[in-house]
Structures are given as C-alpha cells and as structure tokens.
Amino acid sequence: MRIESAKDTLLLLLKSLPMGCYFNIYGFGSNFESFYPQSVEYNQKTMDQALKRVKKMKADMGGTEILEPLKHIYSQPCYPDHPRQLFIFTDGEVENTKEVLDLVKHHAHSHRCFSFGIGEGASTALITGMAREGSGHAQFITGTDRMQPKVMQSLRFALQLAVDNISVDWTLPDGITVDTLSPQINVLFQGQRSLIYAQLKGESSGGSEGTVTVKYSLKDQPVTNQLHFCLKPSEETGLAVHRLAARTLIRSLEQEERSGDAYFESRIVELSVQAGVSSVHTAFIAVNKDSRQIVEGPLLQRRVQTYDVYQQRALLGLQLGCSVVNAVRSHDGIDEQSFHCSKMLGSFSKKAIKAAPDPQKDPLLQLVSLQKASGCWELDATLADVFGKTEDELTNQKPAQVDGSVWATLLALIWLYGCKIEQQVEWQFVAMKAASWIGSQKVGDLSQCLCVGNVLLGSQVTKETLGI
C-alpha cells in the first residue's frame, strides 16, 4: 500500500511541476538507481518517460541506505537560476543518521530538503533532521493519513522564494536577561508558523513589557515583524510551557551530541530528569505506588486465534506473533515455533491478497494522469469517462469555433472546482497550469463556453473562480 501511495504521489508531483524546471527521480534501498544520469528539462517527453518508470516501481530494493544516493545527487551540478529542491520519501531508519545529516547540512547552501516519513517505522531524527539541516520542511504520514495533501503542501513551500538573513532580537527592561532555547531559525514559509522558546531571567523594577523582533530578507527586500508581550502573565499555566521548552532544548542538544562531546549527554540527562521529558538517554518506568518498587517482568507472548472469518485480523495477529517470538528467542536462532508461525503468515498473506478485489481507480488521479505537461487535456473517451459522460456528449456540446483541447481543459477545470473542491490542496498546481494554458490560447466567447460546460457537468463555477 505504501509503494502504491508513493506512486500516486509521484504522479501528482510530476503533473504539478512548472514548465521550464529540471527534475530527476531516485529509487533507493540497499543500492540505488536514478531515472536519468542527471536532471532533465521538464517537458511532455521526459514526463511520459518518468511516468512509465513510476508505474513499474516496486518495494523491492532492500533496506534503507540513503547516504550514497544523496552523495550522488550532490555530485551533480546545479543549473544556474534553478535552486535544487530535494524531496525524500522513506519508511525506515538508517544506522548512519549523523553522516546523513552532516552531508545535508554541508550542501544546504545549494538546495532545500523536504522529507517525508511514511508509517510508524520512519525515523523521527532522520526526517526532522534532514528538513532542519536542509532548510526545508518535514512531514509524517501515519495511520490513515493521505500522502498527497501533505506532499503538495511541501511543494507549495518549495516553489516559494527563499527567506534569507533571519534574525531574532529581544528588547527587555533593565534587570531581565534572555536565554534562547530553540535552535536558530534558518527557514520561514508563508502559511507556516515557527515557535521560539526562550527563558527570561531576573527581576525588573521598571517596565512590565518586552518585545521580540524577527527580521529577514525576501527578494532582497527587508521585512520586520514585531511582537509585544507582558512579563506578568495573568493565567497560571503550570509547567506545560516549561516542559515544551525543555523538550525543544533537549532535541537541540541531541543534535549537538552528534559531535561526540560527553558534556551534551550529561546535560540532556539533567534536563530530562528535571523536566520529566524523555530523551535518547532516559526513559519512563512504571513504579508501584504502594511498595515504591519498580514494576519489572519478562516479555509476554499473546496468542491470537486465526479463524478464516477473521482473516484480516488474523494476518495482523500473526505478524505481531512472529515479531514477539523472534524478539524473545533471537539469541537461540529461529526455533520450530517461529518457523511454523512464518509459514502460516505466508499462507494467510497469499490468501488475503488473492481474495482482495482490484482497487477502483481514483477519478481525481485518473484526471490528473491525462493532463499534458503544458497543462492542457485532450478531448477523448478516457477524459469523458472521468466525468461519467461519453465522448460524443462532450463533442456535441462543444461550442463552435472552440478548439477541442481548450474545451477539454475548461471542462477539467470546471469538474475540479465543482466536484473536488475539498481536495484542492492536491490539484491546485495542476489547475494553475491549466488556467495559464487556456490564457495563452485564443478563445472566443469564454463566458459562453463556461456556461455550456457548467450545464453539461451540473456545476456553477465562475470565471473568477477558475482564475482565467
């Protein structure tokens, strides 16, 4: 399911890229491979070639080895006036997190890194670390989360201009000092908030108000944002904010610890115990309130009945069962019980897959897959099928003197805004390309075309909504 979702996401990404950019796609596991020897210009030919390879992608490349493909990517020269935007998807963790993050940081001057952790097994340190060191943004896709909206949000960030020269200044009354606990801000995106934790110390006999000022440059223009705050909060917040601040400082120290300095470990442990916040060197344990003794005990194996009527639950139960058996007996090798469990898991997996019906194609992805790199659609039966119409119905309603591709593209836009507005974050760039393409064509009475299209698709979309 993860690789299928990743393939659908790559389809959306490829269709959403602007004309004139360059792109490449890498698959990595125990080894790696790239679609092209180096990044190629985005056009109809290269997009079609990439989509054919995306359809053939499988989760068959072994473990997660990300350092070597990153080195290969960074060895490729950047195109002038085309800053590199790196999107990384992984559902695992690596043993050399420090080396990976150091490499990303070393090349942060030439690229931004947007990372995506898929599933519960993705390494938080790796995903957040790559985004932080690469001045990008991190996303996690777990449970029933849809990957596409989160990826398209990051694409929106990636297409924004970079913010430079970020600084944070504090203005406080005499007698008050400030210790900033958060890492230095090195990236800001429109529509995203950044949290800054700071510890104020001392006592003031004067003013009761402070000011924090954030300055940065955007397109070589200076920007200033200022916030005034009261030094005497009216509400009792307990220690919630203190713990959040301690957690932020601990995470920063954990990153600094990559240098191997023993000081950081002792400081992390001290903060963790004081604030009651877990870290890489501490953990919560259970204590019996009556006896004040630590609750200890061996791992317990849970047996799950595997009736056919509970096929899907049994499959999950067997997976968990195998994990427990192998974890408890890892020193003795795989015994007969765990081997029998593995054989049962294999048979249930095959049976479940064989019985599962073919997933129905998402109409939105079907529509997106038909769009050309330039942003237009062609008037054909496949497009009509997305709308629940026949090709003749679309053709017969086409206003005279209107090109077929213009008519098809206009209908696609009407359908997106009329039927899929709740998923706009996923198709916003697809629609922008389409509207831009229509604007470049010679269209007679666009209002009449829009009126006929609304009647045909049962919508009430205006020209202003479409952005044409």
CATH number at residue 13: 3.40.50.410
Residue 184 lies in a domain: yes
Query: Which of 30, 13, 26, 134 lies closest to 73 in space, CA to CA?
Result: 26
- What's the CA gap between 11 and 5, in Å, rounded? 10
Same domain, 28 and 145: yes
- Structural domain contains residue 303: no
Identify whether residues 242 and 192 lie together within a single domain: no
Same domain assignment for residues 316 and 444 = no
Tokens of 73: 């990517």
Distance (Å, rounded) from C-alpha 406 to C-alpha 416?
15
Average pLDDT over residues 55-77: 83
Does 384 have pLDDT greater than 90? Answer: yes
Q: 256 vs 176, which has greater pLDDT?
A: 176
Q: Is 235 exposed, middle or buried, given 0-12, 13-18 or 19+ CB atoms closer than 10 A?
A: exposed
Question: What is the model's pLDDT at position 305?
Answer: 61
Average pLDDT over residues 106-133: 87
Task: Examine the domain organization and report whether 153 and 19 are in the same domain.
Answer: yes
CB atoms closer than 10 angstroms to residue 281: 15
- The answer on pLDDT for 191 being more than 80 is no
Is pLDDT above 70 for 274? yes
Give me the residue label for tokens 């990404």.
13
Q: Are residues 55 and 80 in the same domain?
A: yes
pLDDT given at position 392: 93
Is 80 exceeded by the pLDDT of residue 341? no
Average confidence (pLDDT) over 196-212: 86
Looking at the structure, tell me whether residues 412 and 318 fall in a common domain: no
pLDDT in tens, 209-221: 899 999 998 888 9
Residue 169 has pLDDT above 60, yes or no: yes
Looking at the fold, whether 135 and 58 belong to one and the same domain comes out as yes
**Structural domain that includes position 462:** 363-466
User: Has residue 294 been placed in a domain?
Assistant: no
CA 403 – CA 409 distance, rounded (Å): 10
Is residue 208 one of the residues assigned to a domain?
A: yes
The pLDDT of 103-127, averaged and rounded, is 87
Is 359 a residue whose pLDDT tops 80? no
114 vs 264, more confident: 114
pLDDT of residue 433: 93
The more confident residue out of 23 and 351 is: 23
Q: Are 373 and 47 in contact (CB under 8 A)?
A: yes
Residue 55 pLDDT: 87
Contact 145, 120 (CB under 8 A): no
- Looking from the CA of 268 toward its CB, the CA atoms found within 13 Å total 21
Residue 205: what pLDDT? 75
Q: Are residues 331 and 415 located together in one domain of the fold?
A: no
Asked if 188 and 277 sit in the same domain, the reply is: no
The domain total for the chain is 5
Looking at the fold, whether 50 and 114 belong to one and the same domain comes out as: yes
Over residues 214-242, the mean pLDDT reads: 85
The pLDDT of residue 7 is above 60: yes
Contact by Cβ (8 Å): 393, 386 = no
pLDDT surpassing 90 at residue 146: no
The answer to whether residue 298 sits within a structural domain is: no
Among the ranges given (82-91, 150-159, 314-323), the one the predictor scored with the smallest mean pLDDT: 314-323
Give the side-chain half-sphere CA count within 13 A for 426: 21
295 belongs to a structural domain: no
For residues 336 and 407, state if they share a domain: no
Residue 276 covered by a domain = yes
One-letter amino acid of 347: S
Quote the CA–CA distance of 55 and 57 in Å, as a whole number: 6
Flag whether 460 is in a domain.
yes
Same domain? 202 vs 247: no
Assess whether pLDDT exceeds 60 at residue 192.
Answer: yes
- The CA dihedral of 149, 154, 155, 161, to the nearest 10 degrees, is 150
**Choice among 59-63, 98-102, 183-187, 387-391 with the minimum mean pLDDT:** 59-63
Residue 62 has what pLDDT? 66
- Provide the 10 A C-beta neighbour count for residue 47: 19
Mean pLDDT of the chain: 81
Lowest mean pLDDT among 40-49, 110-119, 190-199: 190-199
Q: Which amino acid is at 337?
A: Q
Of 320, 355, 390, the residue at which a domain comes to its end is 355
